[in-house]
Chains A and B, each alone.
Chain A
Amino acid sequence: MTAPAGSLLSAQDLRKAYGPTNALDGAHFSIHPGEVVAVMGPSGSGKSTLLHCLAGIVPPDSGVITYNGRELSAMSDGERSALRRSDFGFVFQFGQLVPELSCVENVALPLRLNGAKRKEAERTALTWMERLEVDDLAKKRPGEVSGGQGQRVAVARSLVTSPRVLFADEPTGALDSLNGERVMQLLTDAARSTNAAVVLVTHEARVAAYSDREIVVRDGKSRDMEPVL
């Protein structure tokens, strides 16, 4: 089995069971640099498991995941962790910011963990906060900002290391329509400007409409939907 030509991240025939439940039952996936792919499907269909496998957080029971020409299963745990820090970014629905740190410290955190000096890390963090229109919140703590603002801070943090793949799991799930749309617009604009690929797990069609194409996961099986022209 080989990865589709030109794909940055791909998966073939992924299977993953939790006890008697087949979370993934032969799922396929591929994404190119700069592409935004929505992963859609009902609750419990296997969308999040697919994202966790693709990001190397959870190993599949079988199947092949290839990132940038290398199989994830051939890497050691340490190599996969390093890859997640250097090449991948993550945005989740909520609960991502460290409450004891200011917003700018939160955004700078991935750079600090990679060894950057504080001043330099915070300078880079601020430029990302400007792009996400939350630079005025730099000194505030997460508890002092709204849900929509906090999510934009989280998006800034996910992009601060200039990841090649951004994994977003229901990134607007906790937001109202207006804030959700703004987050999606800023997130996809920022990702496209850096040619990052975005794996966007969502059950909301209006969020998926920010993607270039969608795959549908149902009962652990994936279906690549080619637009009908």
Chain B
Amino acid sequence: MSIGHTLLGLLESGPRHGYDLKRAFDEKFGHDKPLHYGQVYSTMSRLLKNGLVEVDGVEAGGGPERKRYAITEAGITDVQTWLATPEKPEPYLSSTLYTKVVLALLTGRDAGDLLDTQRAEHLRMMRMLTERKRKGDLADQLICDHALFHLEADLRWLELTAARLDKLAKAVTSA
């Protein structure tokens, strides 16, 4: 999962301190793997250097942790591009896809659109594997089948998530 894009997405709803960002990230996406402070500050200084965020204010007595960050126009474009670009289909994508869906809902973007784009990318890969299977020997068929079943599992998750978008939108925006 891209921590930089996720933090940028969280900033779209308004400027935040590094500490607030970490807390919001852990609440929504951290689950059993919360961010270290060091990760937050190193990520923010990279985003700052690349012009994707700017310092919105520094509180008195402040070391680096007291900086308040705001997303720039370039940052919003970067989030948009990340959300609109489908992930390369590979096993265990769910945490990245989940993050993208939640961020799309949080920032008022079309999460259904994102899921449809991802589905098309998965199906494109499945078509390639199916074609390889048609022409291949038994070993090829078994290898392709293994990949196809994994991709199918992802797709079922995409379908189920699409069917639950309204519920998920309520849950994430009320949290």
Contacts and interface: CB of A to CB of B under 8 A. Distances in A.
Interface string A66-102: 0000000000000000000000000000000000000
A208 interface: yes
A225 B148 CA distance: 20
Given A205-B152, A209-B130, A225 B122 contact: no
Given A205-B152, A205-B155, A206-B148, A218 B123 contact: no
B15 interface: no
Interface stretch (B5-13, B59-67, B112-120): B112-120
Contacts of B156: 205
A196 B30 CA distance: 51
Chief secondary structure at chain B's binding surface: helix
Given A185-B134, A216-B119, A228-B86, A206 B152 contact: yes
Contacts of B46: none
B129 interface: yes
Nearest to B121: A228
Given A185-B134, A218-B112, A218-B162, A225 B127 contact: no
B54 to A, nearest CB: 32
Contact of A228 (B124, B130, B152, B159): B124
Contact of A205 (B112, B116, B123): B123
A191 to B, nearest CB: 14
Contact of A209 (B112, B123, B163): B123
B126 interface: yes
Contact of B126 (A205, A216, A223, A226): A205
B152 to A, nearest CB: 5
Nearest to A204: B152
B123 A208 contact: yes
Contacts of A223: 116
Size category of the B interface is 20 to 34
A42 interface: yes
A205 B122 contact: yes
B104 interface: no
A214 interface: yes
Given A205-B122, A205-B155, A228-B121, A216 B127 contact: no
Contacts of B151: 205
A209 B116 contact: no
Contacts of A227: 120-121, 123-124
Interface string B131-163: 000100000000000001101100110010011
A225 B152 contact: no
A175 B169 CA distance: 36
A214 B123 contact: yes
Contacts of B134: 185
Nearest to B160: A42
Contacts of A210: 130
B126 A206 contact: yes
Interface of A: 42, 185, 203-206, 208-211, 214, 216, 218, 223, 225-228
Given A228-B86, A228-B121, 20 more contacts: A42-B162, A42-B163, A203-B159, A204-B152, A205-B123, A205-B151, A205-B155, A206-B148, A206-B149, A206-B152, A209-B123, A209-B126, A218-B112, A223-B116, A225-B116, A225-B119, A226-B120, A227-B121, A227-B123, A227-B124
21 contacts: A42-B159, A42-B163, A185-B134, A205-B122, A205-B151, A205-B155, A206-B126, A206-B130, A206-B148, A206-B149, A209-B126, A209-B127, A209-B130, A211-B127, A214-B120, A216-B119, A218-B112, A225-B123, A227-B123, A227-B124, A228-B121
Q: Which 6 A-B pairs have the closest CB atoms?
A: A209-B126, A225-B120, A209-B130, A205-B155, A227-B124, A205-B152
